[in-house]
């Protein structure tokens, strides 16, 4: 089953935003691992390399599609991608819509190339 190969990582500047989106995705993709990371280390608004790295390493899936809300979250994802053995696929798509689409398609066991094609339509330029 393809869903065992892929997980979803959500990175937001606000814990509640990441957690809320994770709850939404779990409604449509019960079999997909969704990990949410939000906020700075002190609990304030921001992102943390250490929190993102820890969340990624906790995931069992070898391939992880990552969605982010703002630029510094993407920067932390890029740094993490250089420090892990996992295949981290950073998706420059709309945060909510992109993650939701991927969750639904992974749950339906859609081939990855089809997921990539559909996700392109939600990329933020």
User: Mind telling me the catalytic residues?
Assistant: 13
Helix (H) or strand (E) segment spanning residue 23: helix 15-28
CA distance 123 to 119: 7
| Residue 87 DSSP symbol | E
CA angle 98, 123, 125 (to 5 degrees): 145
């Amino acid at each position: 089953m393809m869903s065992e190969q892929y997980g979803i990582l959500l990175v937001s500047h606000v814990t509640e935003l990441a957690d809320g989106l994770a709850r939404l995705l779990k409604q449509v993709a019960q079999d997909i691992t969704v990990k949410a990371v939000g906020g700075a280390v002190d609990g304030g608004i921001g992102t943390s390399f250490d929190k993102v790295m820890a969340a990624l390493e906790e995931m069992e899936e070898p391939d992880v599609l990552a969605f982010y809300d703002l630029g510094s979250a993407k920067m932390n994802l890029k740094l993490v991608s250089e420090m892990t053995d996992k295949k981290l696929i950073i998706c420059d798509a709309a945060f909510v819509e992109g993650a939701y689409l991927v969750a639904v398609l992974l749950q339906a066991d859609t081939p990855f190339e089809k997921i990539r094609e559909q996700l392109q339509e939600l990329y933020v330029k």
